[in-house]
Amino acid sequence: MFSLKNKKAVVTGGGSGIGKAISVLFAQQDAEVHIIELTEASAAAAVDEITALGKKVVAHACNVANQQEVLSTFEKIGKLDILVNNAGIAHVGKADTTNEADFDRIINVNVKGVYNCIYAAIPQLRIAGGGIVLNMASIAALVGIPDRFVYSTAKGAVMAMTLSVAKDYMAENIRCNSISPARVHTPFVDGFIAKNYPGKEAEMFEKLSKSQPVGRMARPDEIAALALYLCSDEASFITGCDYPIDGGFVKLNN
């Protein structure tokens, strides 16, 4: 079950965190993995790990917010079966503390970047006779998260795009779903805590962990396992759905 043999998968932001876990797991399941990162160096650790497994992987330096770079990259990749839109950046701020430059930066990567990759991938998915688009949304699109105004806005847009793509391309055998994680323990989280809460790292890690009813953050490999299922043939009857993977945060956090 869950084999991706003879499948070509593109994972944006596939060099670290959740994206790396997805890239490695997809390669383990025999997909040919194409990692899109801002620089090839950012993908090096994932490439090395996948290469050590004797699996196929290619890294591409590309800014997902730049449509011409995205189109050129997808033309090089060619026919594909799976697109995982994972690349994204975070921001802390309310509506009146988010300046225009930061608003534009988050929207350009987290919304336009997803659009650019879908725009470039659809023709290549058609060549393959169909395939899967999987978008990384967030529980921030489902519930109110303090100080995450533009991030929540962007992830809400991603969720809406998921529904639109699922509807528009259903007849072409293209499925589209999204995943909405709660907090996931990645190097990004450790860096975020160190930058914003110096001297209080352990305290803040504990606080953020306990914001999930299960009392911990998710592991990247847990998100990757759900991504694998949704991108496999076993999930062929699923489209237009969002999957919270949140330790009970959305339904049980009261």
The token pair at 227 is: 């991504």
Phi, psi values for residue 198, rounded to 5°: -60, 135
pLDDT of 254 reads 62
Look up tokens 């509807």; give the residue.
167
Q: Quick: pLDDT tens for 34-54.
A: 999 999 999 999 999 999 999
Name the active-site residue from 151, 169, 197, 243.
Answer: 151
Q: What is the mean pLDDT of the chain?
A: 96
Is 151 among the residues known to form the active site? yes
Distances (CA, A) of 127 to 78, 124, 131, 180: 9, 5, 10, 29
Helix axes 44-52, 17-28, angle to 10 degrees: 20
DSSP per-residue string spanning the chain: ----TT-EEEEETTTSHHHHHHHHHHHHTT-EEEEEESSGGGGHHHHHHHHHTT--EEEEE--TT-HHHHHHHHHHH-S-SEEEE-------B-TTT--HHHHHHHHIIIIIHHHHHHHHHHHHHHHTT-EEEEEE--GGGTS--TTBHHHHHHHHHHHHHHHHHHHHTGGGTEEEEEEEE--B--HHHHHHHHHHSTT-HHHHHHHHHHTSTTSSPBPHHHHHHHHHHHHSGGGTT--S-EEEESTTHHHH--
Confidence (pLDDT) at 182: 96
Every domain of the chain and the residues it spans: 8-182+219-244, 185-217
pLDDT category at 231 given cuts 50, 70, 90 is: very high
Rounded-to-integer distance, Cα 170 and Cα 168, Å? 6
pTM: 0.95
Residue 96 CA to residue 98 CA, distance in Å, equals 6
Taking only the tens place, the pLDDT of each residue in 158-216 is 999 999 999 999 999 999 999 999 999 998 889 889 988 899 999 999 999 998 999 99
pLDDT at 143 over 80: yes
pLDDT digits (tens, 9 = 90+) for 123-139: 999 999 999 999 999 99
- The verdict on domain 8-182+219-244 having CATH code 3.40.640.10 is no
Compute how many other C-beta atoms are within 10 angstroms of the C-beta atom of residue 133.
Answer: 27
